Amino acid sequence: MSIIPNDTLLLQEDIATQLMPFEDLYTLAITYSPMVKIGNEQVNSLDQVYRLSKLKILENATGFVNYSVGNQAIFSTTAYGGDQIGQIANGYRAGVGLNVNLYDVLGRRQLINQAQSNYKAAIHQRESVELQLKRELINLYQDLLTAQRVLKLRIADEQTSLTAYRIAEAELQLGRITPEAMAVNSNRHTEIKAAVEMAKGEFLKFAYQLEALVGVPLYQLKRN
């Protein structure tokens, strides 16, 4: 008996044997959970901030490359007159300039530590979300198993009640019971049918909540 469209789950089979193992469900939930995705993005963002904080001191550094042509002699004046003391060769020249702010030097370690702490805090926050997700999944999984067992009991009661109701109908026609007794059987059968519908609703609710929590359709949660 299937009570979910497209024969996704079969009532007569234990849900635990139809669905993939719990750890696999949890892995899927981690993969598709919007809250976990947000946590991942925050971790990645703060990781980049942490890496950049290590390079902040270089933001005022400049480099240059040029090429010069011509006589670029350096002269000095001595008691004996002008004396050529150097000749800069023609060709490429390169260099680096660095202007260092004292705040960057003295506060660099603190900035790096702060960025690292924020990064670690984001990781712990994501782990907290994952732990909360696992708790919710455990509770929902157990609720679904319990709902199936209750529904099976209610359906068994309904079958027994239906048999008693039909016997009562036959005995009423034979005059063996009064209309009042028949009414009692009819009311009991109606109450049990209502209980079955309520149990079915609970089962469906937990099944579709599981689908929403994990983030994939129910048919993808079945064992291969």
Question: 149-183, pLDDT tens digit by residue?
Answer: 999 999 999 999 999 999 999 999 999 999 999 99
Does some domain include residue 94?
A: no
The pLDDT-based confidence of 66 (bands split at 50, 70, 90) is low
3-state helix, strand, coil in the chain (%, to 5): 70, 15, 15
Helices 179-214, 22-32: crossing angle, 10 deg rounding: 60
State the pLDDT at residue 64: 52
What Å distances lie between residue 72 and 84, 143, 181, CA to CA?
11, 88, 124
Least confident window among 86-90, 125-129, 158-162: 86-90
Query: What's the burial of 147, exposed, middle or buried (CB within 10 Å: 0-12/13-18/19+)?
Result: buried
Q: 190 is written with which tokens?
A: 């109606």
Residue 180 belongs to some domain of the structure: yes
On the question of pLDDT at 125 being above 70, the answer is yes
Mean of pLDDT over the chain: 80
Q: How far apart are CA 17 and CA 23, in angstroms?
A: 14
Alpha-carbon distance of 168 to 185, in angstroms, equals 7
pLDDT at 39: 87
Q: Does a structural domain hold residue 168?
A: yes
Residue 58, pLDDT score: 53
Distance CA 148, CA 207 (A): 10
Give this prediction's pTM: 0.68
155: helix, coil or strand?
Answer: helix
CATH assignment of the domain containing 41 = 1.20.1600.10
Residue 105, pLDDT score: 59
88 occurs within a structural domain: no
What is the number of structural domains in the chain?
A: 1
% of the chain surpassing 90 pLDDT: 45
Q: Mean pLDDT, to the nearest integer, of 46-52?
A: 82
Is the Cα dihedral 28, 30, 36, 41 positive or negative?
negative
- Rounded-to-integer distance, Cα 207 and Cα 194, Å: 20
State which residues form the domain around 134. 14-54+108-221
pLDDT for res 83? 44
Question: What is the structure's pLDDT at 56?
Answer: 61
Which of 84 and 104 is assigned the larger pLDDT?
104
Query: Do the Cβ atoms of 75 and 83 come closer than 8 Å?
Result: yes
Q: What tens digit of pLDDT does each residue of 196-208 get? A: 999 999 999 999 9
- Residue 42 domain-assigned? yes
Answer whether residue 9 is part of any domain.
no
Residue 88 has pLDDT above 50, yes or no: no
DSSP SS3 for 119? helix
Decide: helix, strand or coil at residue 222. strand
Q: For residues 165 and 183, give the distance between their C-alpha atoms in angstroms, rounded to a whole number.
A: 10
